[in-house]
Structure 1
Amino acid sequence: MLDQHGYRPNVGIILTNPLKQVFWGKRLGQHSWQFPQGGINRGESPREAMFRELWEELGLFENQVRIISRTEDWLRYDVPDRWIRRDLRGIYKGQKQIWFLLEFLGKNKDINLKATNHPEFEAWKWNDYWVPLSQVIDFKRGVYKEALKELAPALFTDKKHLVPPAGWEKAEGPGHFRLYK
């Protein structure tokens, strides 16, 4: 299901723990890290898609999270030509996403990357809110940057955390926390 401009509707999820760290998932069989995300099915609202994706990718139920905020409008990214199937070239441009900021109400053991037969992630960790964009696949970095900046005021009340740290966009590093598999 594409819109008239060639973008597939999608949701992104920024899941936070009580320390205001964010869930950071390692893509199955890849060296890239990302937030949970997925397409919106025909007839599904962004909210409904978000809860479905939360279950499919993390094994979490609606009662295990609280919605803090969401982006006001769609954020878009273009997919490089090499990632587009030949039959969609010229029609499909990329994805448009509504991002949700969620508070995780459960415990780490509640996160189940193998809740379905089609896992997206092979490992995960909690990371600082301003995740290193260098670990995100290059064509998605702009959307991550926009989503994190737009949603930060809903999570942080102090000015110190509202502004990304110096060098954030180029920061390297795996984060500071235990890796879960």
Structure 2
Amino acid sequence: MTRPDLPYRPCAGVMLVNRDGRVFVGQRLDSVLEAWQMPQGGIDPGEDPYQAALRELGEETGVRPHHVELIAEAPEELTYDLPEEMIGVVWNGKWRGQRQRWFLFRFTGEDHHIDIRTPEPEFRAWRWADPAELPDIIVGFKVDLYRRLLEIFAEPLARNGGAA
């Protein structure tokens, strides 16, 4: 059962694709699951979603804006609901899930430009994944959102060597 009385947390997400068409994924520090996810995080009040995406990318991966190029932006917000047992635990119980603006960026840097040991680290490990792998390696409650992202970004991913 979801909590329709709670709002969705505004969030920006980044699908970062390298020269080989593979996507950056990280394992969260606060989870013992073998699940991986793409960089994402809250949009501050008054913050532009694109700027939030670049900020979150830097905060979570150490990747600087001059090492990315915008390929595409999802034309719609995507949402997911937290599992019932997580509502009230995550984000101090203020949100039922997230509504996310997603951006597809080309990574123009080298792997050594990625450093997950940031001042407030979120990931314990990272790797490049095949786009088609994403729904199989994400936590269960985000699978539909990741499948939708692969549909939305299918054409630009194919153009950039990362056919899903």
User: TM-score per shorter chain, which class?
Assistant: 0.7 to 0.9
What is the aligned residue count? 156
Moved over 6 A (4+): none
Query: What is the TM-score of this pair, normalised by structure 1?
Result: 0.79
Aligned to 2:96: 93
Give, in angstroms, the shift of residue 157 of structure 1: 3.9
Find the aligned partners of 1:13 and 1:45 in 2 and give their Cα distance. 14
Structure 1, gaps ≥5 residues long:
165-181
Q: Does the CA-based 8 Å contact 2:134-2:146 persist in structure 1?
A: no
**1:2-151 maps to which residues of 2 (within 5 A)?**
6-28=7-29, 29-30=31-32, 31-85=34-88, 92-116=95-119, 118-151=120-153
Find the aligned partners of 2:150 and 2:158 in 1 and give their Cα distance. 11
Find the aligned partners of 1:131 and 1:46 in 2 and give their Cα distance. 26
Give, in angstroms, the shift of residue 88 of structure 1: 6.5
Give, in angstroms, the shift of residue 92 of structure 1: 2.8
Q: Secondary structure at the match of 2:79?
A: strand
Structure scoring higher RCO (CA < 8 A, sep ≥ 6) equals 2
Find the aligned partners of 2:10 and 2:17 in 1 and give their Cα distance. 23
Find the aligned partners of 1:79 and 1:26 in 2 and give their Cα distance. 18
The one-letter amino acid of 1:10's match is C
What is the aligned counterpart of 2:156 among 154, 157, 175? 154
Q: Does the CA-based 8 Å contact 2:10-2:100 persist in structure 1?
A: yes
Over residues 131-153 of structure 1, what are the superposed CA-to-partner deviations in whole Å (9 max), with x where a residue is unaligned? 24232111111111101110121
Cα root mean square deviation, aligned: 2.2
> In structure 2, do the counterparts of structure 1 residues 39 and 93 end up closer, same or farther at CA, with 3 Å as the change threshold?
same
Over residues 64-110 of structure 1, what are the superposed CA-to-partner deviations in whole Å (9 max), with x where a residue is unaligned? 10010010010011111211227976x63211011111000100001
Find the aligned partners of 1:15 and 1:128 in 2 and give their Cα distance. 12
Q: Secondary structure at the match of 1:72?
A: coil
Find the aligned partners of 2:12 and 2:134 in 1 and give their Cα distance. 20
The one-letter amino acid of 1:14's match is M
Structure 2, gaps ≥5 residues long:
none
> In percent, how many aligned pairs have the same letter?
37
